[in-house]
Amino acid sequence: MKQAILVLCASAAFCQGLEFEVASVKASAPGGRGGVVRPLPGNQTYVVQNMPLRLIMTVAYSVTDRQIAGGPDWMGTEPFDITAKAARPSTTDELHFMLQRLLEHRFQLKVRHESRELPVWALVVDKGGAKLTPHDARDLDHPPLGLGPNRRGLAGPNVNMKYFAFVLSRLLDRNVIDRTGLAGYYDIALDFTRDPLPGANPSGGEPAFSADAPDIFSAVRQQLGLRLESTKGPVEFLIVESAQKPSAN
């Protein structure tokens, strides 16, 4: 993650300027169902509804839950609501960096970054070429990938390969590293059957199963013209050194 932040922030001064202009952080009302973590259309406002800190961290830092260690138990059980607005429309990476800063300030979150060389899946373009539907890069609405038709697979508009690899990482037993070299945004429609891994479903609920649906590896290759290759690569871990519940706004 340190390397990603360095790429995003060309200078220390630029990094320091990346903060939300206004933000509200509060405990969610009891009995809430479902939840969301996403930027609103226009990429200037970020909302979190009924989500625990640990899950918010997976989005802010682009890591899976298995890459987070340490911290008090309430981080994974007590949900919070956040509404944060930037001074101007921003890229998704900038918003995620601002969300990191917000968590560090309001939750007194202190994390240590560790990089480990581990088995990973590399997402690459298959020899026949990519089969992806381009999306208008000027569209600043980036909704999360959700379940596809018949409540299985994945589907969603305006997805870049970095985010697609992150979602695949949540579904598979290893992290996925984007090595496609594709810089655009695409409309993803991927039909496959998968095992119901705890916390892996990006939009909640149980996925449907069907004998006629391929596994995820075959689906990525046949439907998107991409391929998942087994290799080794750096995997970033977040070690939580301390966290505190935020005070009321």
Contact between 164 and 226 under an 8 Å Cβ cutoff? The reply is: no
Contact between 46 and 40 under an 8 Å Cβ cutoff? The reply is: yes
* Cα dihedral 138→142→145→148 (10° resolution): -60
- The answer to whether position 67 is within a domain reads yes
Residue 44 neighbours by CB distance under 10 Å: 18
- pLDDT of res. 16: 55
Residues 42, 143 share a domain: no
- pLDDT of res. 195: 58
Question: What is the domain count for the chain?
Answer: 2
Residues 142, 102 share a domain: no
- The answer to whether position 35 is within a domain reads yes
Residues 186, 143 share a domain: yes
Residues 130, 74 share a domain: no
- pLDDT of res. 213: 76
Residues 133, 110 share a domain: no
- The answer to whether position 248 is within a domain reads no
- pLDDT of res. 141: 85
Q: Exposed, middle or buried, 68 (CB in 10 Å: 0-12/13-18/19+)?
A: buried
One-letter amino acid identity for 95? Answer: L
- The answer to whether position 21 is within a domain reads yes
- The answer to whether position 190 is within a domain reads yes
- The answer to whether position 247 is within a domain reads no
Residues 166, 107 share a domain: no
Range of the domain at 178: 118-233
- pLDDT of res. 49: 95
Residues 89, 22 share a domain: yes
Closest CA to 179 of 111, 126, 222, 215: 126
Residues 88, 73 share a domain: yes
- The answer to whether position 214 is within a domain reads yes
Residues 109, 9 share a domain: yes
In order along its 249 residues, the chain shows pLDDT tens digits of: 333 333 344 434 345 568 999 999 999 998 888 889 999 998 999 999 999 999 999 999 999 999 999 999 999 999 999 999 999 999 888 999 999 999 999 999 999 999 999 999 999 999 999 999 999 988 888 888 888 877 789 999 999 999 999 999 999 999 999 999 999 999 999 999 865 443 344 444 444 445 567 899 999 999 999 999 999 999 999 999 999 999 866
Residues 225, 178 share a domain: yes
- pLDDT of res. 247: 81
Residues 128, 95 share a domain: no
- The answer to whether position 189 is within a domain reads yes
Residues 105, 123 share a domain: no
Instruction: Indicate the pTM of the whole model.
Output: 0.78
